């Protein structure tokens, strides 16, 4: 660490009775994070591929809110909801995305490979299907330890067609592992529309083939996701095995920073519920004032600004470590 971490941090995911205010706050931080990331990519302060999740906040945030410390999370190439939902120190997270030394992985991993052992994120992976496989292993370890810990495995609608999905779901079901599989169904695997990559587009139905419960929730309703995943987590903690939860959502940005577009109907997003708007509307209905919500938004922006400032001030990693590492595996390594 070259800087002292003095940034605001999201509280650890913990209590099962996290309220809508807190869920909304996390979604707002996540939204702000992705908006700022888009700017940092445009300014080339972040290079390399970037996968944002604007419009998908409720699924990831609702799900991690069902966990408690000691649980595990495996994630995908679109992992920012897990970064925010698990309370990763976002200054370090931005630093990682910018390739700086204070990143969780010292700049080696980049935006989609931010492992954070302390926060139970082991790990996101950019290879489609990996999150499912790792979850089986965590589940086996958790079952053996017998402490009631569970694994949340985040995956996508595209990933359900990987061989890994079949292999993992069967093993998890066979061994009754404490694994909750969250399928973030945003209707596309990269550019390929759901009905062009899957004949059975109701993905939760696949659970039946493994003899485990499967359910579908409105993935833009953070409370609905939180509830569904909490119930699944409780069941898994209780030793009753895996559950598949399909969260229907919509990706309101390109699949990555290199999306050329042209593969979806421009009006497609028109009728879609924005998860933040929905949560804000509900909060207002339950008596929150406009000012209170504005304050959450303001604090979210401040949190992200501070994180970015931290990251920008972080030095570049030193190349020396590369040569030290290579000296073992690549004797006579060039300098």
Partner 1 sequence: MTGTTTTRMTYSQALNDALRREMAADDRVVVLGEDVAHYGGIFSVTRGLLDEFGADRVLDTPISENGIVGGAIGMAMSGLRPVVEIMYTDFLCLALDTIANGVAAFPFAFNGQVSMPIVVRTQGGAGINAGPQHSKSLEAWTAHLPGLHTVMPSSPADAKGLLTAALRSDEPVVLVEHKLLYRSEGEVPEGDHLVPLGTAEVVRPGRDATVLALSRMVPEALTAAEQLARQGLEVEVVDVRSLRPLDTATLAASARRTGRVVVAAESWVRYGPSAEIAAAVTELAFDDLRAPVVRLGSLGVPYPASPALEPSVLPNAAAIEHAVEQLVKRTA
Ligand X SMILES: Cc1ncc(C[n+]2csc(CCOP(=O)(O)OP(=O)(O)O)c2C)c(N)n1
Q: Quick check: 156 binds Mg ion (CB under 5 A)?
A: yes
Footprint (CB under 5 A) of Mg ion, residues 39-58: none
Exactly one of 258, 267, 271, 291 binds partner 1 (CB under 8 A); that residue is 258
Least gap, CB of 190 to ligand X (angstroms):
4
Q: Quick check: 269 binds ligand X (CB under 6 A)?
A: no
Closest to partner 1 by CB, 98 vs 280, is: 98
Residue span 136-165 as binding mask against ligand X, x where in contact by CB under 6 A, dash where not: --------------------xxxx------
Q: Quick check: 228 binds ligand X (CB under 6 A)?
A: no
Q: What is the 3-state secondary structure (H, E, C) of the chain?
A: CCCCCCCCCCCCCCCCCCCHHHHHHHHHHHHHHHHHHHHHHHCCCCCCCCCCCCCCHHHHHHHHCCCCCCCEEEECCCCHHHHHHCCCCHHHHHHHHCCCCCCCCCCCCCCCCCCEHHHCEEEECCCCCHHHHHHHHHHHHHHHHCCCCCEEEEEECCHHHCHHHHHHHHHHHHCCCCEEEEEEECCEECCEEHHHHCCCCCHHHHHHHHCCCEEEEECCCHHHHHHHHHHHHHHHHCCCCCEEEEEECCCCCCCCCCCCCCCCCCCCCCCCCCHHHHHHHHHHHCCCCHHHHHHHHHHHHHHHHHHHHHHHHCCCCCCHHHHHHHHHHCCCCCC
Exactly one of 2, 42, 141, 196 binds partner 1 (CB under 8 A); that residue is 196
Closest to Mg ion by CB, 168 vs 186, is: 186
Q: Quick check: 116 binds Mg ion (CB under 5 A)?
A: no
Exactly one of 7, 57, 116, 157 binds Mg ion (CB under 5 A); that residue is 157
- Positions touching partner 1 (CB under 8 A) are 47-49, 99-100, 106-113, 125-129, 158-159, 161-163, 189-193, 196-198, 258, 260, 262-263, 316-317, 319, 322-323, 325-326, 329-330, 333-334
- Positions touching Mg ion (CB under 5 A) are 156-158, 186, 188
């Amino acid at each position: 660490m070259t800087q002292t971490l003095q940034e605001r941090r999201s509280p650890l995911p913990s209590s099962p009775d996290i309220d809508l205010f807190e869920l909304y706050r996390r979604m707002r931080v996540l939204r702000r994070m992705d908006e700022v990331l888009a700017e940092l990519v445009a300014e080339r302060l972040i290079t390399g591929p970037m996968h944002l999740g604007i419009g998908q906040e409720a699924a990831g945030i609702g799900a991690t809110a069902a966990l408690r410390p000691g649980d595990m999370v495996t994630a995908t190439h679109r992992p920012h909801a897990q970064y925010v939902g698990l309370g990763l120190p976002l200054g370090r997270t931005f630093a990682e995305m910018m390739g700086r030394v204070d990143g969780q992985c010292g700049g080696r991993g980049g935006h989609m490979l931010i492992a954070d052992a302390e926060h139970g994120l082991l790990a996101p992976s950019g290879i489609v299907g990996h999150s499912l496989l790792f979850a089986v292993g965590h589940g086996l370890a958790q079952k053996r330890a017998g402490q009631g810990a569970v694994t949340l495995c985040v995956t996508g609608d595209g990933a359900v067609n990987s061989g890994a999905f079949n292999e993992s779901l069967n093993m998890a079901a066979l061994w009754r592992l404490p694994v909750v599989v969250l399928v973030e169904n945003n209707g596309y695997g990269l550019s390929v529309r759901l009905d062009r990559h899957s004949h059975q587009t109701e993905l939760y139905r696949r659970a039946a083939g493994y003899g485990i419960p499967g359910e579908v929730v409105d993935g833009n309703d953070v409370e609905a996701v939180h509830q569904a995943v909490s119930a699944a987590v409780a069941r898994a903690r209780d030793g009753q095995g895996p559950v598949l939860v399909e969260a229907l959502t919509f990706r309101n940005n390109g699949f990555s920073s290199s999306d050329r577009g042209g593969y979806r109907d421009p009006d497609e997003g028109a009728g879609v519920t924005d998860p933040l708007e929905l949560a804000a509307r509900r909060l207002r209905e339950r008596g929150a004032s406009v000012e209170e919500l504005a304050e959450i938004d303001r604090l979210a922006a401040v949190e992200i600004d501070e994180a970015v400032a931290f990251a920008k001030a972080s030095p570049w990693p030193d190349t020396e470590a590369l040569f030290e590492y290579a000296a073992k595996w690549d004797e006579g390594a060039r300098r």
